[in-house]
Amino acid sequence: MKKHLLALAIGALISFSAAAAPILTAEETLSTGLKNTNGLVNPLTFAKFDSSLGELTSVHIRLTGYEETGYTATDLGGASNTFTFTNDVTVNLKTLGGISLATVLPTVTDIQTVAANDTYQSAGFPARALTNTVTSPDQVFLDAATLALFVGPGTIELNTSATSANSVVGTGDITSTILTRYEATASVVLSKFSNQSRFCLSYLHPVDGANDESRQADQSDRGTAC
């Protein structure tokens, strides 16, 4: 009975060496500087992942969009005019192939009253004193196609662009002039397994026919599978 229990115990001697958690690279953050919201592309260039360092497992991207806007509003109705001004800026980050990676929508809103046939100017106009900043949640990409774009020597270029849509709605007829700009800031973090990250299973299995505890252990089948 004692030998039988010992054989079971030895046969069940299994140990695990768990794979290391993915390693995150240092965050790389780049900004476009202030650009016009005319839909034209303003690229940002990031370092690619060196495959000799391991296996790329995911790409994490965060986009921040900043808007600054100034405007005038002129009453056309001949009476005091209370109005709401709104300007939405859509900031995009895409691959060279046009795949969307992140989008943010900073918005500014202003409510004012302009006298009959008069013109209102936002603070400091033509300065752009109305501002807003919006940051996206981290966008995590696991698909092979996106990962492949970030692997290799050299760099990867990601395109930013922005367009704006505005409205001025008043109690009477009104017209406006608008000046707006944006800045895009993108951050990229890569997740990898290093070449040393492994998952291993060690086992100790008794050989049939062992006659005593000592021989049981000596004649066991030992090994490691990874």
* 167's tokens: 């409205």
- Do the Cβ atoms of 198 and 54 come closer than 8 Å? no
Query: Given pLDDT bands bounded at 50, 70 and 90, which one contains residue 19?
Result: low
Number of H helices, E strands in the chain: 3, 16
CATH architecture of 24-197: Sandwich (2.60)
Given a cut of 50, whether residue 13 has pLDDT beyond it is no
pLDDT of residue 37: 97
Average pLDDT estimate for 103-127: 97
The pTM (predicted TM-score) of the whole model is: 0.77
pLDDT of residue 1: 52
The residue ranges of every structural domain in the chain are 24-197
Highest mean pLDDT among 9-18, 115-124, 204-213: 115-124
Q: Which of 2, 13, 1 is nearest to 206 (CA)?
A: 13
User: Which has more confidence, 130 or 222?
Assistant: 130
The H or E element spanning position 91 is strand 81-94
- Do the Cβ atoms of 73 and 110 come closer than 8 Å? no
How far is residue 46's CA from residue 29's CA, in Å, rounded to a whole number?
8
pLDDT of residue 21: 77
pLDDT tens-place string over residues 156-211: 999 999 999 999 999 999 999 999 999 999 999 999 987 654 444 444 455 455 45
pLDDT of residue 107: 98
Share of the chain above pLDDT 90, in %: 74
Residue-wise DSSP of 17-57: EPPPPPEEPPPEEEE--SEESBS--EEEEEEPB-GGGEEEE
The separation between CA 25 and the C-alpha centre of its own chain, rounded to angstroms, equals 14
pLDDT of residue 146: 96
Share of the chain above pLDDT 70, in %: 77
Mean pLDDT score across all residues of the chain: 85
How far is residue 64's CA from residue 30's CA, in Å, rounded to a whole number?
10
